[in-house]
Structure 1
Amino acid sequence: MSELSQASCEVCRIGAPTVSDVEASELLKQIPNWSLINVDGVNQLQRKYKFKNFVKAMAFANQVGDIAEAEGHHPGMLVEWGKVTVTWWSHSIKGLHSNDFIMAAKTDELLSQ
């Protein structure tokens, strides 16, 4: 278990600071399978998970939904046959907050359960 996966999300309100490039670089070291992407000027974290079939992919997506609801922070998800793409970013600040890195780590932890 990583330090990030043990943390809890904090309330992220409009105007909260986004993580700096230096902070993002350091946090990414703790979630090495995630990529930093930029969509329409908004930095986001993204990872594609592979599964043996649609049922397993859907089950994983439901688990992600459960942790998202528990933390009050929700990702973008695309569920396909044998694949789930999860994208974390903070909508309210149009960028990355420490919450996104926490949730990425929590998402990874689902694979070890």
Structure 2
Amino acid sequence: MSKKLSTQQCEACHVDAPKVSDGEFKQLLNQIPDWVPRVRDNVMMLEREYKFKNYKLAWAFANKVSELAEAEFHHPSILLEWGKVTVTWWTHSIGDLHKNDFICAAKTDQLI
């Protein structure tokens, strides 16, 4: 895990893909300190809220996140509001966190 998360690529993920272990979780989360682990519907997720001066800036950021998601073929929940975008990453196919979620969270931070 010495390689910087934002320089890595997502791997194809299937139902039997490995979930992040407890040890990996702590190491990976340390690399994205502004992200908060959340549990919704018994699914662990990573979430971060980004604030902007207006709706147009938030909208532009949400579009960048969408482009990242397509490039990585890994898709988050994106909530666009006036002056705010909330991004939530998790791996749908395993119903939990995979290393891909941490990679995409790190890449999302670079879009600012």
Shorter-normalised TM-score: what interval? over 0.9
| Bigger proportion of residues as helix | 1
Q: Give the deviation of 1:29 after TM superposition.
A: 0.5
Gaps of at least 5 residues in structure 1 are: none
| Identity value in percent | 59
Rounded Cα–Cα distance in structure 2 between residues aligned with 1:23 and 1:96 = 11
Residue matched to 1:20? 21
User: 1:57-96 alignment to 2 at 5 Å?
Assistant: 57-96=58-97
1:47 maps to 48
Cα deviation 1:4-24 (Å, max 9, x = unaligned):
000000000111111012211
Provide runs of 4+ in structure 1 moved above 2 Å: none
Instruction: Tell me the distance in 2 between the aligned counterparts of 1:88 and 1:21.
Output: 17
Task: Deviation per CA, 1:58-109: give whole Å up to 9, x if none.
Answer: 0000000001101100000100000000000000000000000000000001
| 3-state SS in 2 of match to 1:27 | helix
In structure 1, distance between residues paired with 2:44 and 2:55: 29
SS in 2 for 1:46: strand
TM-score calculated relative to the size of structure 2: 0.96
Give the TM-score normalised by structure 1.
0.95
C-alpha RMSD of matched pairs (Å): 0.9
Ranges in structure 2 where 5+ consecutive residues have no aligned partner: none
Once residues 38 and 23 of structure 2 are traced to their aligned partners in structure 1, the CA distance between those partners, rounded to angstroms, is: 15
> Across the two proteins, how many residue pairs are aligned to each other?
110
Q: Distance in 2 between matches of 1:3 and 1:48?
A: 22
